[in-house]
Amino acid sequence: GAVVSQHPSWVICKSGTSVKIECRSLDFQATTMFWYRQFPKQSLMLMATSNEGSKATYEQGVEKDKFLINHASLTLSTLTVTSAHPEDSSFYICSAWTSGDPYEQYFGPGTRLTVT
């Protein structure tokens, strides 16, 4: 149980285009989903917290107009990187949390984004 998927697993896009990444909880309803970014050889940095049906809460320094988050249902959250630039190239990982298990977050497999 507690499986989280992400799609796509990797994507290459051109500078200036937008990319959408999906995060799905497959066998449970996620009260909250979190989006992280991880640069090579660095830690996971929380970008935003997303609750179903409400606006995402962004961490300090994260541009909400550039990283659009939509949490339309209890099993799906999407992250759209708008007007992507090479410096946005990173590993994006989502995690899901359910009030039924109020401690553990379940991580998706990550999406490798490369902007050329």
- By the criterion CB under 8 A, which residues form the site for another protein? 32, 34, 42-46, 49, 91, 93, 95, 97, 102-105, 107-110, 112
φ, ψ (nearest 5 deg) of residue 19: -130, 135
Nearer to another protein, 22 or 82 (CB): 22
Which amino acid is present at 2?
A
Q: How many CA atoms lie within 13 A of 10 on its CB side?
A: 3
Would you say 82 or 112 has its CB closer to another protein? 112
As measured in angstroms, the least distance from the Cβ of 65 to another protein is: 22
Q: Which residue's CB is nearer to another protein, number 44 or number 76?
A: 44
Q: What one-letter code names the amino acid at 107?
A: F
Smallest gap from Cβ 79 to another protein, in A, equals 16
Q: How far apart are CA 28 and CA 31, in angstroms?
A: 9
For another protein, the closer CB: 10 or 83: 10
CA distances in angstroms from 10 to 22, 43, 112, listed in the order given: 12, 19, 4
Instruction: Tell me how far, at minimum, the Cβ of 113 lies from another protein, in Å.
Output: 13
